[in-house]
Amino acid sequence: MKRRREIVASLMREDEMILSIGSYPQLGSGDFLEPPHKANGQFSRSLFLPDEVINPHPRFHTLAGNIRERRGSKVRINMPVFHDLNTPRPFIDPSIPYDRSLFPGDKEAKEGAALPDHIYMDAMGFGMGCCCLQITLQAPNVDLARRLYDQLATVGAVMMSLSASSPIFRGYLADVDCRWNVIAAAVDDRTAEERGERPLAKDRFVIPKSRYGTIDTFLGSDDGLFKPEYNDLKLVYDHGIYRHLVNNDIDELLAKHVAHLFIRDPLVIFEELLDQDDSVSADHFENIQSTNWQNVRFKPPPPNSPIGWRVEFRPLEVQLTEFENAAFSVFTVLLARALLAFPDINFYIPVTKMDINMQRAHNRDAVFNERFYFRRSSPADGEDTVAELTANEIINGSAEFIGLVPIVQMYLDSISVEENVRRQIERYILFVRGRANGSIMTAAAWIRIFVRNHPAYKFDSVVSSEINYDLAVALDDIANGRRPAPELLGAGNTV
């Protein structure tokens, strides 16, 4: 991770810096680019984001345009504003150009797309301009990959709350700390019929969620822990694809998972990849798979490849320093190995409870203030197997649940680890413990405090260019070791 930063830094000018944060605070706010560009691009048609921010590869311009065209309108992203002492009530964003008439969709903000008391954004770039810490884990076989997929899905929300780093959007303090819902809304290509706003006429399904969200169904595995009642969400899936898979000896749970992916249309199709031999190429499958973005992703091996069965763990927000990113990465890998080593560990909760957890994890200071549905370790007779626990109880343990950290330490005790490696791992574990028990603050909390203590802040939720600049400098100083931040990294930890 350090080497990657060094490589990027070597290619930058003296007046440039690289910041590893969940969302750039002034993305889409005024003249946030150097040199400035006007927000008048044909692909996004955004009131705030110029097309110049889009990656020049044709895939990304096409994605931006196709999401808007398929949906039949621009995307609607509304994050609740943080009401500070001088924030107007209701908050009606004065920076929205309500009367622009460059594109037909310009009128949407005025017609209700921009909600009162919310920070309004209107383009895919606001979601894909966010950053995360994504970890891909390989399992020995398909059944263990299915186990990892199911069990890791349930811990995603609490892990995201520990990693929260996104409290500012489009130059305003938000009343959330995470980027997940921004991305979910930014790539929501569902039509009005698919969203349930009109009766089905042209489309096939009413789809409850964006194509970016929590999983809708568990896969089950041969560990014997899955029960049908855990899949308590009415699953929308392509029945023809399901029957085809079942008729070719794919089990019901996996067949429904794949058939569920295919309720979505492709977002980008390259002409040269239309005609493929599916026995030697997975391009057609990956076209759909890679644009279904969930909190975990189940990844079959590519044809004719030594790559095995993998699971992506996707909820974590990116961290400011290499130490933090390494700590979360190592902890996640060790938790996954513990899940593989100890087959009796069972984190199953109903899918709908997992959805609730993910929404709670967004809230300001969720790591301290929220409770998350989680499975008790040893429920008493007649006691519900699921309880509402704090992040601290889930991570560090309580009378209700043994704790993720103790599980990881049990795994470490069961294998041979060199003394110096174990010491470094314990530093990472101590950091994760601290985030959960409140002794180490999240980046979102640190950023919010910095803004509210800035002499130019008027307690009106506005993060001005001056505040943004000073914040960027402070974050860069922390990331490069020039500014000690034990409240963010923990005592004695460096970048």
pLDDT in tens, 2-28: 888 889 989 999 889 999 999 999 999
pLDDT of amino acid 130: 95
| pLDDT digits 0-9 by tens, 376-398 | 987 666 677 999 999 999 999 99
Q: Which two tokens stand for residue 126?
A: 């606001």
List CB contacts of 84: < 8 A, sequence separation 6 or more: 173, 452, 459, 460, 461
- Calculate the average pLDDT of the chain: 95
276 confidence band (pLDDT: 50, 70, 90): confident
pLDDT of amino acid 384: 79
Q: What are phi and psi of 40, to 5 degrees?
A: -140, 25
pLDDT > 90 fraction of the chain, expressed in percent and rounded? 88
User: Which of 217, 162, 102 has its CA nearest to residue 490?
Assistant: 162
Answer with the residue of higher pLDDT: 311 or 273: 311
d(CA 250, CA 112): 46
State mean pLDDT over 431-460. 98
d(CA 49, CA 31): 10
Mean pLDDT is lowest, of 49-53, 381-385, 429-433, for 381-385
359 confidence band (pLDDT: 50, 70, 90): very high
pLDDT of amino acid 280: 83
List CB contacts of 428: < 8 A, sequence separation 6 or more: 326, 327, 330, 331
Per-residue pLDDT at 449 exceeds 70: yes
pLDDT of amino acid 495: 67
d(CA 355, CA 353): 5
Q: How far is CA 410 from CA 139, 449, 485, in A?
A: 20, 37, 31
State mean pLDDT over 333-344. 97
B/e letters for 116-149, b = 16+ CB within 10 Å, e = fewer, are ebbbbbbbbbbbbbbbbbebebebeebebbbbbb
d(CA 240, CA 219): 19
pLDDT of amino acid 21: 93
State mean pLDDT over 243-269. 96
Per-residue pLDDT at 272 exceeds 90: no
Given its phi and psi angles, is residue 407 left (phi above 0), alpha (psi -120 to 50 degrees) or beta?
A: alpha
Per-residue pLDDT at 59 exceeds 80: yes
d(CA 323, CA 286): 33
- Cα 165 to the center of its chain, rounded Å: 11
pLDDT of amino acid 279: 81
User: Which of 137, 140, 157 has its CA nearest to residue 215?
Assistant: 157
State mean pLDDT over 466-489. 96
Bridge partners of 172, per DSSP, are 169, 462
pLDDT of amino acid 380: 65
| pLDDT digits 0-9 by tens, 202-226 | 999 999 999 999 999 999 999 999 9
Angle between the 142-162 and 351-362 helix axes, to the nearest 10 degrees? 30
B/e letters for 349-373, b = 16+ CB within 10 Å, e = fewer, are bbbbbbbbbbebbbbbbbbbebebb
Per-residue pLDDT at 430 exceeds 70: yes
pLDDT of amino acid 119: 98
| pLDDT digits 0-9 by tens, 170-205 | 999 999 999 999 999 999 999 999 999 999 999 999
| pLDDT digits 0-9 by tens, 87-104 | 999 999 999 999 999 999
Strands 212-213 and 293-294: parallel
| pLDDT digits 0-9 by tens, 112-170 | 999 999 999 999 999 999 999 999 999 999 999 999 999 999 999 999 999 999 999 99
pLDDT of amino acid 192: 97
